[in-house]
Structure 1
Amino acid sequence: MRVFRPARFHKVGRKKLTDLKSLIKNLHPLETKVLLKYGLNDELTSERLQSELGYKEGHANQAFSWLGGKNLLAETSRKPHTYFELTDFGRTVAENGFAEERIISYLKDNGPHLLPEIASALGLENKDIGSAFGSLSKEGVLKMNAEKKAEYTGAAVPARLTVAKELIAKANKKENSQLESTELSKEELDVMSGLTKKRGVSETPFRTLERETVTYKLTGEFESVAKALKEAGITGNEIGELSPSMLASGDWRKGTFRGYNIQIPPARIIPGRTNPYVQFLESVKDQLCSLGFEEFDGPLVETEFWNGDALFMPQFHAARDI
């Protein structure tokens, strides 16, 4: 038995070496650069790869997915984040002001008016005017007089509008137009809750974005792969696509090419065909059009046809007249 054990272990070691060589040849450059750049104790996030390796967010997430599938990377934590992103309507508010401010200013200058008149004068929708008036009347800034006209009471502008304007100005100055919830005070968060979701308002200045920061670490298995990459001279900058310009200039001679696994089966192509019922309907339509009928399309026809068929009504039946 002792005679055969060394040979057996030699074969196993040679198989592992072959598998390792095959693995490093088929690594994508996105994976290779991560394995060569970082170590076991490094905490990796999408933002870190974007700043240090120049990856885009999609590239970083794809690299994490591929490395995780090969057990070279493991997830260590997830941290949720809430962001408030300025909308196009919010940018309009930054330029023109809130509807509440414009209503107060209009009533100060022009006296009491009906709500539809205010909407027409300010170019706003009636429901937005109604919602703004409702909020301001509760706060004692506006009231409805005996003639059913909105009237300014002389009270100070609500503090929430001042805070809201500051939030919009702060977000408008940022490159990504986003504010993180952790950087806002309790008062600002209370005001923000009314700026992202409000009943009766067609548009809001902010939209809420829920994101997670996922942290990864390389596993112990990555060390042998990284060592093999260095020994093979693979850097992740290998040529993956040969272009006509490279052939014309001869630049392809200066670099090395990526390895490809030609044993991978190609994607399966599933051919499609026309649905038999749809094909029959098209043939009937063509025959009717050839007889001189004109095709008509509209919501009334579609609704009647769908309701009648859904209720299993005969086509020439009095029930179709409902």
Structure 2
Amino acid sequence: MSGTAGRVADSTGNWVDTAAPSWLKPYLRLARLDRPIGSWLLLIPCWWSAGLAAIAAGRPYPDPWHCLLFFIGAFAMRGAGCTWNDIADRDLDAKVERTRSRPIPAGQVTVKQAFAFLVAQALIGLLVLLQFNPFTILVGILSLATVAIYPFLKRVTHWPQIGLGLAFSWGALMGWPAVFGRLDPAAFVLYAGSIAWVIAYDTIYAHQDREDDALIGIKSTAILFGERTRPMLATFFAAAVVLIAMAGWLAGGGWIFALGLAAFAMQLAWQTWRLDMADPALCLRLFKSNRDAGLILFGGMILDAFFR
């Protein structure tokens, strides 16, 4: 095993490594609190949806209380989702260099302990969800189906990234009904755009494990696309931009929203141009840069709402 004992191979030194109590570290790693990028990527579609709702409702900014709830809920539910993923994938993780030091295959946490931790995180997410109106609560509960099936898709299809897109983009369906108490076309189109975005950025991420995955029979778009990855990324990133533009138009977004979207598109184009599939460290850096891309777009939504 390479790297520091107990540290997942794609995680560098962080507060969990340096400051957390020893007994707590495995649980923080199960929740990926040592690597919060996934929580940000789960959160951003929620904020996009809240931003579009503010524009459509003629409000000067997204509801701060909703944005805070989405922040807490995203971190709690991403942690629960990762814990479930690690329970389901514990045998596969033991065969992959990057993941074999995760807490369950490394023997730091039992499956029963991990499941109890999953329930605790899910309860936090439920408490957050109950702060919204009844329709939004129902939409949030429906998201659990996508979370439950995602870990198993890589065993049966080269498109598990679609499953991740369905789960990680669900927030695009949450911010809108939190304001309006219903789902309108703008929210659905935003959801579709976010799914395309997730498929592209997770393909970049999957290139870190492409060789190990192929050896043990795990499927992914990284393996499916192979040398065609760059044009496929361009296709999905372009689809994301077009669909989000349509969502913004349906919500009444103006020229400031358009500028934010253009900056978002430029960042995605940079990722596509910069990609080197043979460089795992670069793939990880490009993957992480999607947080910045998403926040740039959200900033455009906020400014558009404010100056209207």
TM-score (norm 2): 0.20
Structure with higher strand content = 1
Higher relative contact order (CA closer than 8 Å, sequence separation 6+): 1
Which has the larger helix fraction?
Answer: 2
Structure of greater Rg: 1
